[in-house]
Amino acid sequence: MTDPRNLWHRTGTWLRTALGLLLLGLLPLAHALTPQEAMAISSGDTDSRMAALHQAVGHPDPQLANFLHELLNNEVQIDGGMVQVQQGDDWIDLATGRKVTPSANAQAVINNNYVRKELQSARAALDLFSGDRALRLKAVQQLQDDPTSVDRGLVEQALKTEKDPEILERLQLLHAAILLTSKNATERLSAAKDLAASNYPAVRSLLLSRLDKKDGQFVEPDATVRAQIKSSLADIDERLAWGERLGTLFSGISLGSILLLAALGLAVTYGLMGVINMAQGEFIMIGAYSTYVMQGWFQRDLPGLQSYALVAAVPFSFIVAGGIGMVVERAIIRKLYGRPLETLLATWGISLVLIQIVRTVFGPQNVQVDNPPWMSGGLHAMANLILPYNRMVIIAFTAFVLLAMWLLISRTRLGLFVRAVTQNRPMASCVGVRTPRVDMLAFGLGTGIAGLAGCALSQIGNVGPEMGQGYIVDCFMVVVLGGVGQLTGTVTAALTLGVANTLLEGVAGAVLAKIAVLAAIILFIQKRPQGMFALKGRSVES
C-alpha cells in the first residue's frame, strides 16, 4: 500500500516544479476564450472590435481559432447577451455549449471588408502555433503580405517555438518587417538591414512607405535609417528583377513548347510531302475533344480513377487524330500531290468540314477539360515567381514527344524511309520504297502529333470548335523559320518565337508583338529562304 506521506511529497514536488516553470515562462498559462471576449470581438464599432481581437490574439487558443473561423463563415449571431454559433442546423450558446432556440431579436454578425481582413490575419497568426507544418508555412506566407496587421508579441512567441528552418527564416523576416515601424530608431535600423535579404514584394512596399512624406516630413524621421532603407531596396529590386526575368523566360519556353508541339506534326507533313495542310489546327482541336471525351468516360464509368483520365487521353488523342489523318490522306490528299494550290484549298475545306462536324456533335459552345489534381497549383520558386504545374508538365511532355520523334526518325525503318523520301522521292521509289504507304503513315504521324498538341492545350485553355484556328499561322511560321523538314530547326524556331513573343508583349502589347515577329520572319526569309537549318540532299526540291 502507498504511503500517503510519500504521495503527498511527490505531489508537492510536481506542483513546485510546475510553479517554477510558470515563473520562468516555460509553461504558458492556459487561456480559454471567454464569452465576454467573444462578445467584444463580435459586437460594437469596428475600432473596439479590433482592439478586443488583438488583445485576445495575444493568447493563442484553439477555441479562439475556431471562433474566428466561424466569424469568417458568417456562422455567428448576437441574441441579447448571448453569442451563438451555428453547428449544422442548430445554434449553440458559446458560454454554456448548449443548444438554444434563437429569439426573434437575434442578429447576425456583419463583417465589413476591413474586419474580414483583420480576422483573416488573426486566424493566420494563430496558425503559427499549429502542429501542421504546411499550415504554419501557409500562415507565415499570408502574414508576410501584410506585416503591419500582425501582433509583434505573437510573432516573437512563435520565433521561440518554431524549429523548421524555412518557416523560422520567414518568421525572422516578418519580425523585421514589424520592427520597421517601431518607435526605437535602433530597432528600425536593424530591421531595415535584415529586410535587405527579403524577396517579398509586400516588404518592398513597406520599405517604400517609410520613404514617403507626410505633411512635409518623412515617415521615417531618422536619416541613417532612410539611407539603409534605400540600400535594402536596391538589393531587393535586384533579386525581384531576376524573378521577373526568369518568369519571362519560363513563359517564353512554355509558349515555345506549345508552338513546337503544334508545329511538330506540320513539320513532318509539310517537310515530307510539301502539303500545305490548312486543317492542321483542326487536328489539334480533334485531339482536345478526344481528351474531353476520355474525361467524360472516366467521370461516368471510372470515377475512382478520374485523376488518370489525362494519361489515358494521350494515346487516345494520338490514335483518333492520326486515324482521321490517314483517312483524309488516302481519300483526298493523295489525289492532289504536285498541285499545291489545290491541296491548300482542299485542306482548308477539310478544316471547315471538321469544325462543322464537331459543332454538330458537341455543340458550338466551349467545353471544359479539368486539370487532374497532380497538375493543379504551382511551384513557388521565388517570392514573385510561381511556376504552374500544368505548364511544367506540358514542357516535359513536349520534350518526351520530341525525343520519341527523333528516335522514330533516326532509329527506325519507317524513319529511314521518311528521310529517304524527303531527300529524294524518285530515287527512294526506284530502290523499292513504297512512297504512297510512307506518305500515308507520315501524314497520320503528323496529324497524330497534332492530336497530342490538342491534348496538352486542353489543360491550359478552353476547348472549342475553332480553337485550332489560332495556331495554324504560328505553326507555319515555326516550320518555315526553322527549315522545312528539320526537327532541329523546328525546335529552335518554336523556342525563339515563344521567347520573342513573350518579351515583345510586355513592351508593345500582344497585337504589335505579333506584327513585329511576322515582320522579322519575313526579313529573315528574304536573306535565308531555306530557314535556319537547310535540308541537305541532292534534290531537295524534287
Mean pLDDT over each residue of the chain, to the nearest integer: 81
Answer yes or no: is 537 within a domain: no
Tell me which residue of 96, 88, 42 sits closest to 67, measured CA to CA: 42
Instruction: Output the nine-digit C-alpha cell for 400.
Output: 518526351
Answer yes or no: is 191 within a domain: no
- The CA–CA distances, whole Å, from 223 to 206, 228, 541 equal 17, 9, 74
Answer yes or no: is 307 within a domain: yes
pLDDT at 116 over 80: yes
222 vs 63: which has the higher pLDDT? 222
How much of the chain exceeds pLDDT 70, in percent? 89
Answer yes or no: is 312 within a domain: yes
Tell me which residue of 421, 458, 461 sits closest to 440, measured CA to CA: 421
Distance CA 89, CA 356 (A): 51
pLDDT (mean) for 223-234 = 90
Predicted pLDDT at 27: 34
Predicted pLDDT at 457: 87
Instruction: Output the nine-digit C-alpha cell for 449.
Output: 502529333
Of 98, 127, 156, the one marking the end of a domain is 127
Most confident of 141-145, 264-268, 286-290, 423-427: 286-290
Of 127, 157, 176, the one marking the end of a domain is 127
**What are 378-412's pLDDT values in tens digits?**
887 776 778 888 889 989 998 999 899 889 888 88
pLDDT (mean) for 521-542 = 67
Cell 504558458, residue?
28
Domain enclosing residue 47, as ranges = 31-127
Residues 404 and 275 in one domain: yes
Instruction: Output the nine-digit C-alpha cell for 238.
Output: 535586384
Q: What CATH number is attached to the domain comprising 287?
A: 1.10.3470
pLDDT at 202 over 90: no
Answer yes or no: is 13 within a domain: no
Distance CA 54, CA 37 (A): 11
**What are 136-184's pLDDT values in tens digits?**
888 887 777 777 767 777 788 888 888 888 888 888 888 888 888 888 8
Answer yes or no: is 389 within a domain: yes
Predicted pLDDT at 126: 77
Distance CA 379, CA 341 (A): 48
Answer yes or no: is 396 within a domain: yes
Distance CA 308, CA 287 (A): 17
Residues 487 and 347 in one domain: yes
Domain tally, the chain? 2
Distance CA 425, CA 211 (A): 73
Most confident of 136-140, 349-353, 409-413, 426-430: 349-353
Answer yes or no: is 503 within a domain: yes
Lowest mean pLDDT among 364-378, 397-411, 415-429: 415-429
Of 66, 101, 127, the one marking the end of a domain is 127
